[in-house]
Structure 1
Amino acid sequence: MYNVLFLKMRYKVIITVALASLIGFLFLYKKGVFDREENAYSDMKLPETVDYNFHIKPILSDNCYTCHGPDANKRKAGLRLDLEEAAFKELSENPGHYPIVSKNLKKSRLYQVVVSDDDDVLMPPPDSKLALNSYEKKLIKKWIQQGAKFEKHWAYIPPKKKSAPQTENTQWVQNEIDGFILEKLEEKGLVPSEKAPIETLIRRISLDLTGLPPQLEQVEQLRSETDIAKIVDTFLALPAYGERMTQSWLDVARYADSHGYQDDSYRTMWPWRDWVIHAFNKNLPYDEFLTWQLAGDLLPNASKEQILATAFNRNHPITQEGGVIQEEYRTNYILDRTNTLGKGILGITLECAQCHDHKYDAISQADYFEMFAFFNQVNERGLQMDAVQAGRRKFFADPPYITITKEETEDVLSFIHMDSLSQINVMVMNDSAPRTTHILNRGQYDQPADSVSPKTPEAILAFSDDLPKNRLGLAQWLVDKENPLTARVYVNRIWAMLFGKGLVETSEDFGVQGSLPSHPKLLDWLAVDFMEHDWDIKYLLKKIMLSATYQQKSELRSDLKKADPENKLLARAPRFRMSGEMIRDYILATSGLLNPELGGPSVKPYQPAGLWEETNAGGNRGVLTKYVPDTGEDLYRRSLYTFWKRTLPPPNMTIFDAPTRDYSEVRRQKTNTPLQALVMQNDTQVLEAARVLAQRCIEATPDDPDIVATMFKRILVRSPREEELLTLNSYYHSALEQYKNDSESAEKLIAVGEYEQLPVDPGKTAALMLTAQVIYNLDETITKE
């Protein structure tokens, strides 16, 4: 008994000592990390002039606004720090004291509480897990000493077009963009990278403008071209340009071929997608592109094309389930349109003000429902049961909708590809139900409060009395050149498309909690230049592509790895994985399988069997309960046309980070998971493409000793380096030796896919197919650089 007690006590002592040691180690480790961080901050040089927007506001937003910001419901101590007037006002709960006193640190309560050693006084409170580092405290100190000047949030100030900076390295500069980039590089003592080889630039430009790799014939034709502008013009003129631009817009517009929710039944919205392709290809100016989609039906003598464009507003999920509360779902649809306007066009988190005043941005709940009011005049219901019944037979559209006939697609709507259909119905907008809009308490449909009229947040730009109080007035407000957001947001999105991330990394959020622009003067210059050139999207793309910044090599130099590992300063071209759609299209194009047909109804390529059945919640009724792949050429259409079911989007695209399209999405995640590798190694479409490419290469030149090099160049646009060719040739000949005496395995391997088998040697096909698959799985193949 004694021994047992002794052992228990001994173990307790050992465990206690061990825990104490561990805690001590963690404390010392944490203290060491903290000390290292503080030493790093202490070495940081303070700016000559502390800027409120770029130095002070981020500190206040991250650490103070939760309790002392725009949200009146969460505000403490009667203190508000996001407004200049309130920040200099006497504290109501502490008379005689002021949050900030210009040029007076002792009387500035804000400074005193952030540098206090007393935990009862210190702000932010220790239990908030927030803390200012030494550099941030010094910034606040210097800002107050310099007068504590406030400014409107940077993104709400209309952009100004300042002249491009003068730089030392004038030879590198090709247009104004380079001046702004080079200014920051020279400040950091860095130099830009060399110009990329012409083959690399051709591939880069082709992928950016068409979403497809260039054909070898195009490369041979353009490689001697010294004027990059002509190369850009070549790809801008291709129909594939409109498809490429539309692919990105579908995420913003939350486009899908099904309604969503539990039943997730079929809808016909693809004619709107055909219109978007048409609009980009004819280079419809961005201001008109927005106006037609938001309010085309309200334009004077609106054409059917302009009305069709308003289907943008009806792309949201719509329930087809019995038993729902009509007003609840009708309200949800309007909320969706309002939020899509905020995120997709204005680049602000408008939805955060649905239930209460925005916690960080100067947008009240009243502001939110005044924006909501613009979309609240449509004669629609939460559930249209007659449309459900009609949908199974013919219409697939909830009213209001327009009917498009075969005759119209042969005339005024020739961009719509109806094939054998005689007519189709597409949901559009029609303000035919005047309603009074109310602020909804806590955002709940059944708790109306004060009534409001259509209006826009004054913090962004006041709504002029000269504008009509409808969606057309809203569209005119959006494209007003004094609107600080619309042009900035779009040029930033185009920049992100070309460089992997925007000058403002949070493309969806230009608010207080969003990222600050890495090059604010460049962003403003681009926005104003875009508007000055009549919102010309092709002009904007070409302007960026003709810069030396865009044309750099992408290699990561050792000095850049240390000074700018995230490439925020853009001393090199970026490298980033292409989207799932682009990867699939790339493989189809290089194998020769791609069907270039433009527009038309969505198609169903290969997909693992049983997925729709497993996720179907609506029983066996409806046309979307079982996935039946298409056959023939429809299997090889561009991914833009792949059928998009909201409850189960195309799985291979989902694995490569495509959104569900339940709501507007501006910036896709970029992940790297084992599932992505499994898709590239096992997907039927990839294996079939490798097989077809192999058979075509063999058929064209059966005795070509350089067949591996030929195939490599066809996929990657360039010739293989010596070590690459040695490795691939070795792999090919090893596989060839294996299948030479095992025709059964070769036949089994190459049986993948529905595309016809060409009459070439099965063993050679199998060996070359595996080699093609290796090249398709290279990082370079699926990377845009």
Structure 2
Amino acid sequence: MKQQIGIMVILGILIAFLFAFKKGVFTSPGGIYDDLEVPETVDYNFHIKPILSDNCYTCHGPDANKRKAGLRLDLEETAFLELKQRPGEYALVPGKPGESLLYHHITTDDLEELMPPPDSKLALNSYEKKLIHRWIRQGAKFERHWAFLPPLKKEVPRFETTDWAQNEIDAFILRKLREKELLPSERASFETLIRRMSLDLTGLPPRLDQVQRLMENPPNKILSEAIDLFLAAPAYGERMTQSWLDLARYADSHGYQDDSYRTMWPWRDWVIHAFNQNVPYDDFLTWQLAGDLLPNATKEQVLATGFNRNHPITQEGGVIQEEYRTNYVMDRTNTLGKGILGLTLECARCHDHKYDAISQKNYFELFAFFNQVDEKGLQMDAVQAANEKFYADPPYLELTSVETKGVLSFVNLNGQNSVKVMVMNDAAPRETMLLNRGNYDEPTDTVQANTPASIHAFPDTFPKNRLGLAKWVTDANNPLTARVFVNRLWGMLFGRGLVETMEDFGVQGSLPTHPELLDWLAVDFMENGWDIKYLLKKIMLSATYQQKSELRDDLKRVDPENKLLARAPRFRMSGEMIRDYILASSGLLSTTIGGPSVKPYQPAGLWEETNAGGNRGILTTYVPDSGENLYRRSLYTFWKRTLPPPSMTIFDAPTRDFCEVRRQKTNTPLQALALQNDVQVLEAARVLAQNTIADKEKHSDLVARIFSRILIRSPKEEELSTLHNYYQDALTSYKSQPEEAQRLVAVGEYEQLPVDPIQTAALMLTAQVIYNLDETITKE
């Protein structure tokens, strides 16, 4: 009978497939798109440009070397010109699709004339063709790329019949929801929101006593007080710095094959300090890009320029100095583009950008700003100093213990007398050449420092150096900087930016789901002094942020990806946050701020397996630390580029060879195995169990206490019953196998408490189960 049912199901699927094939669903670019309704007014940026970018710009876009038929479609002044190869004919004739060769070529049945060509594997579907038709009929109006237009603070939508909205953010969100006939979700419980806010602002769960004190406030003040509490915590600076390190490609080793040690952690200490002091974002960027060029620059401002020296540096003999020096300058240029401007500048290194209006000349004009630092491709004495623990390539800044007791007190020397950190220091002016195909040994024409006019022209009043570049980046008329940062903070809080491609605001990037909201926030951010804490609080006080995260049936049907934000998001925390959460909830976490990187537990032998070139420096063998250093925040974990911390790479951390803005999101068995077997997790469960048993006079229900410590809420009756049964089963098992209990509780270096090992083992496993819950590792 089962076989017959299976055969019938398969036959049904085959019949449906053949019917769909006959109807053209799988053979034609139309099919399922035939019934989509074309909007009354077609928008160039949101409807037409993505079609042209994906299908046409490769041959008819900004790259002159690849352009065919002399046709350039990305610019209005060229798209309407008479075709040189077909006199009297035009690709676009406003109002007349039938006379527009572009429309003819995308709709023809003649494979010799069809565009895009069949061998390109590209094709427009029927809906896209209808969009093109209506756009031409409506006049084929062009607009500048949306991200290159200065943001405008448009009027906030008004609604007479809502008591849901709490600030301007909600008005923009609600307008989109009403267009889709959707309702927002209710507000989550105060306990849930306090945990959410703590994770977002400190990267750590709140303490139970913090939750209890906050709940004593009047209801209308609970969340505002919670935000202020977490923003004022030293852990806030650590949380924000953790997000900045991927962008800044921070590491404790040089990279490349030998991958020897470097000292850059004092710069990391500065970043923590800057966030905690709420340094305005325009100053935060200016100091990092050009702090050394400020008038009467302080050591703090010079230290901030370590941002520009975080890139990999080779320590291998025999390299060509100019080749690697050029690579370092390119890295700084690419990081400016991807991390600060949200642009793929690196695409213009070898040729004009194929999609964005950025030429190869533009790329090397930006390159020129970073081409003046007095550095070498290989510093030979660094090779000889591979075993020195605190080495830095020149130019560097030396910080002494005397200075760190005064104005530089935020640098944690950890008992050292002095430390050297790489910074910027421009030498005599160096001529910059445009490099053919981006090759260091193929210089062509001389270029001067400048910025792409397509984004924002470089003002004559700005100096043609990195300080002038920093002024240009933070100029109120620059259309990208504020937008990109606002979007990144939004992505940190919601798991996805209003522009999903947080690293790419160019033509090939995602379109904003709420463009007017993004612009409103960007302008408001600048009007309020580039105040990061102000921006975070503004977003968190919105009803949008405070919604429940439950997925309703209507939302699953209309908006399964939650782009319209009718509910709060749910997403797994980063590897660093998961580890810190476990350490904090167990009581193991060290709260020491700053200082040299540390080496917590790691599987033995990994560094030896990846060691190359016979390097016998201090990074040949991984030697774990002991004591407090085992329990420092993950922010301080030693980062070796050729083998980053495995407990973090398993959870999608990058190598930090290059600037990364958005981590990929995976869900793999290795992640579950790490949470089940990692020594740090097991030790945390053991310490939490022992401390709970030692305090049993205060807590009669050990399982409920463990649950509350980890999840910051009381367990439901069914949850508690299930966990009690599990605990009792484990207790029974270990009573018959006491040696197994002893072996389990011996894990980790943290001191053992004189409590029953059998009870400890059973409660330890119960804690481990809770640590492995989806709710524990999810920020929702």
TM-score > 0.5, shorter chain as reference: yes
What does 1:556-575 align with in structure 2 at a 5 Å threshold? 556-575=551-570
Match of 2:183 among 191, 215, 221: 191
**Matches of 2:369 and 2:105 in 1, distance apart?**
45
Confirm whether residue 101 of structure 1 aligns to residue 96 of structure 2: no
What does 1:463-478 align with in structure 2 at a 5 Å threshold? 463-478=458-473
**Matches of 1:127 and 1:660 in 2, distance apart?**
37
Confirm whether residue 446 of structure 1 aligns to residue 438 of structure 2: no
For residue 98 of structure 1, what is the amino acid of its counterpart? Y
Contact 2:246 2:661 in 1 (8 A): yes
Contact 1:167 1:182 in 2 (8 A): no
* 2:340 equivalent in structure 1: 345
Shifted more, 738-747 versus 609-618: the winner is 738-747
For residue 694 of structure 1, what is the amino acid of its counterpart? A
Shift of 1:661: 0.4
Confirm whether residue 412 of structure 1 aligns to residue 404 of structure 2: no
Confirm whether residue 538 of structure 1 aligns to residue 536 of structure 2: no
Q: Deviations over 1:34-85 (max 9, x none)?
A: 3898454233222221111011000000111111111111111111100111
Shifted more, 187-196 versus 101-110: the winner is 101-110
Match of 1:665 among 660, 663, 667: 660
**Matches of 2:81 and 2:352 in 1, distance apart?**
22
Shift of 1:777: 0.3
Shifted more, 612-621 versus 88-97: the winner is 612-621
**Matches of 2:35 and 2:171 in 1, distance apart?**
29
* 1:647 equivalent in structure 2: 642
**Matches of 1:43 and 1:781 in 2, distance apart?**
44
**Matches of 1:36 and 1:703 in 2, distance apart?**
70
SS in structure 2 at match of 1:293: helix
What does 1:216-615 align with in structure 2 at a 5 Å threshold? 216-225=208-217, 226=219, 227=221, 228-390=223-385, 392-393=387-388, 395-615=390-610
**Matches of 1:700 and 1:447 in 2, distance apart?**
72
Contact 1:286 1:535 in 2 (8 A): yes
SS in structure 2 at match of 1:768: helix
Confirm whether residue 140 of structure 1 aligns to residue 132 of structure 2: yes
* 1:7 equivalent in structure 2: none
* 1:175 equivalent in structure 2: 167
* 2:766 equivalent in structure 1: 771
SS in structure 2 at match of 1:33: coil
**Matches of 1:743 and 1:66 in 2, distance apart?**
69
For residue 519 of structure 1, what is the amino acid of its counterpart? H
For residue 514 of structure 1, what is the amino acid of its counterpart? G
For residue 92 of structure 1, what is the amino acid of its counterpart? K
For residue 607 of structure 2, what is the amino acid of its counterpart? W
Contact 2:23 2:31 in 1 (8 A): no
For residue 77 of structure 1, what is the amino acid of its counterpart? A
Contact 1:388 1:396 in 2 (8 A): no
Which blocks of at least 5 consecutive residues in structure 2 are unaligned?
1-13
**Matches of 2:35 and 2:689 in 1, distance apart?**
59
Which blocks of at least 5 consecutive residues in structure 1 are unaligned?
1-21
* 2:45 equivalent in structure 1: 53
SS in structure 2 at match of 1:217: helix
Match of 2:104 among 95, 98, 112: 112
SS in structure 2 at match of 1:403: strand
For residue 605 of structure 1, what is the amino acid of its counterpart? P
How has the CA–CA distance of structure 1 residues 443 and 419 changed in structure 2, closer, same or farther, with 3 Å as cutoff? Answer: same
Once superposed, which parts of structure 1, at least 4 consecutive aligned residues long, lie more than 6 Å away?
A: 22-27
Shift of 1:112: 1.3
Confirm whether residue 679 of structure 1 aligns to residue 671 of structure 2: no
Shifted more, 100-109 versus 39-48: the winner is 39-48
How has the CA–CA distance of structure 1 residues 125 and 168 changed in structure 2, closer, same or farther, with 3 Å as cutoff? Answer: farther
How has the CA–CA distance of structure 1 residues 36 and 118 changed in structure 2, closer, same or farther, with 3 Å as cutoff? Answer: closer
Q: Deviations over 1:384-443 (max 9, x none)?
A: 112333453465111100110000000110000102111111100001131110000000
State percent identity of aligned pairs: 75
Shift of 1:113: 1.2
For residue 198 of structure 2, what is the amino acid of its counterpart? S
SS in structure 2 at match of 1:587: helix
TM-score (normalised: structure 1): 0.96
* 2:146 equivalent in structure 1: 154
* 2:619 equivalent in structure 1: 624
How has the CA–CA distance of structure 1 residues 381 and 36 changed in structure 2, closer, same or farther, with 3 Å as cutoff? Answer: closer
Contact 2:29 2:123 in 1 (8 A): no
Shift of 1:126: 1.9
Q: Deviations over 1:229-257 (max 9, x none)?
A: 11100100000000000000000000000
For residue 672 of structure 1, what is the amino acid of its counterpart? N
**Matches of 1:423 and 1:30 in 2, distance apart?**
76
**Matches of 2:302 and 2:47 in 1, distance apart?**
46
Contact 1:405 1:424 in 2 (8 A): yes
Q: Deviations over 1:233-283 (max 9, x none)?
A: 010000000000000000000000000011111000000000000000000
SS in structure 1 at match of 2:25: helix
SS in structure 1 at match of 2:444: strand
Shift of 1:465: 1.1
Shift of 1:705: 4.6
For residue 732 of structure 1, what is the amino acid of its counterpart? Y
Q: Deviations over 1:145-172 (max 9, x none)?
A: 1111101100000000001112354200
Contact 2:576 2:648 in 1 (8 A): yes
**Matches of 1:305 and 1:133 in 2, distance apart?**
56
How has the CA–CA distance of structure 1 residues 414 and 704 changed in structure 2, closer, same or farther, with 3 Å as cutoff? Answer: closer
Contact 2:261 2:389 in 1 (8 A): no
Contact 1:285 1:535 in 2 (8 A): yes
SS in structure 2 at match of 1:106: helix
Q: Deviations over 1:740-764 (max 9, x none)?
A: 2321110011110000111111111
Shift of 1:118: 1.7
TM-score (normalised: structure 2): 0.96
